[in-house]
Amino acid sequence: MKKTKVTAIKKSIPLYVLLLPSAILLFCFAYLPLGGLVIAFKKYSPALGVIDSPWVGMKNFVQFFKSYQFPITIKNTLILSLYGLVVGTPLPVALALMCNQMKTKMFKKVFQVITYLPHFISTMVMCGLILIILSPSNGLIANIMRLFGQEAPNLMGSAGAFKHVYVWSDIWQHLGWNSIIYLAALSSIDPTYYEAATIDGATTMQKIRYIDLPLIMPTIIVLLVMSAGNILGIGFEKVFLLQNTLNITASEIISTYVYKIGLQSSQYSLSTAIGLFNTVVNVIILLIVNFIAKKTTDTSLF
């Protein structure tokens, strides 16, 4: 038994060599930083270094929980990500179901190329686009509203509008792209189901309701579990770029706060503690959602 294991390992040596570059990089830039997490429990001072800085236990976490930023950042993060989840899950499914029904090949193709297009715009350009199009003085929206004699609201300067701008611009950019995976699932459905349904006189809507939807449900659930696990981890980039002093009360989220505390005001330990808290909550939510999905629908990530 032991001997076969040794020969198996020996035979795998060339494969280990192929794995080596990625393993070394992962070790250095993903695992070593995990070790650096200890400074969340220390009072880090650059003069002493990571190892010699004094331990302070949970003090950094307590400081975050007690700060007035704690409820605000948690609330904003949850609002943006739940809103995104609620709108962003069903719409790509609906789009895929619709696209799957298109009989004109040419039209379908053009439609796909166009709706996938915005996905490739960089976050930076996307945010620039949002800012100039929504500009209340001479943006596209303002100009259209002026045609109807209306004054445009300053959407980027309003805390209440931030979540709508954030979520719907995301939908605009990624809706088409996010539907690809469902289209792939739909294309693998056995055509005999549809033939049988047609013979029984089922309408298009009935086929969607009773064949398509149940058969792509596992895909929907897996993707939902994956995004639920990231509920406190919504992208830093877009929120950070769209943030300004007028909408900050709605746009300060955990990751932007971690950035500001850490790199702008150099409170390394506090910033790391907040980041660690975020990661732990993410993992817990992922495990819980995965467990529920497994119990109730027999579909899960792992």
CB atoms within 10 A of CB 65: 14
CA of residue 38 relative to chain centroid, distance: 27
Of residues 212 through 241, those in contact with other proteins by CB under 8 A are 219, 222, 229, 236-237, 241
Does 286 participate in binding other proteins (rule CB under 8 A)? yes
- Which of these segments, 24-32, 63-71, 72-80, 245-253, binds other proteins (CB under 8 A)? 24-32
What residues does 55 pair with on adjacent strands? 42
Does 150 participate in binding other proteins (rule CB under 8 A)? no
Does 48 participate in binding other proteins (rule CB under 8 A)? no
CA of residue 281 relative to chain centroid, distance: 15
Q: Which residues contact 246 (CB under 8 A, 6 or more apart)?
A: 154, 156, 157, 158, 159
Of residues 110 through 129, those in contact with other proteins by CB under 8 A are 110-118, 120-125, 127-129
Does 33 participate in binding other proteins (rule CB under 8 A)? yes
Nearest to 181, CA basis, from 100, 286, 104, 299: 100
Member of 41, 81, 176, 234 binding other proteins (CB under 8 A): 176
- Which of these segments, 61-69, 80-88, 157-165, 174-182, binds other proteins (CB under 8 A)? 174-182
CB atoms within 10 A of CB 297: 12
Does 91 participate in binding other proteins (rule CB under 8 A)? no
Does 204 participate in binding other proteins (rule CB under 8 A)? yes
Per-residue DSSP letters for 52-114?
Answer: HSPB-TTHHHHHHHHSTHHHHHHHHHHHHHHHHHHHHTHHHHHHHHHHHH---HHHHHHHHHH
Does 61 participate in binding other proteins (rule CB under 8 A)? no
Closer of 72 and 108 to other proteins (Cβ):
108
Does 292 participate in binding other proteins (rule CB under 8 A)? no
Residues near other proteins (CB under 8 A), total? 93
121 in Cβ contact with 129 (< 8 Å)? yes
Closer of 93 and 127 to other proteins (Cβ):
127
- Which of these segments, 13-21, 53-61, 159-167, 288-296, binds other proteins (CB under 8 A)? 13-21
State both tokens at 289: 């959602």
SS3 (DSSP) at 35:
helix
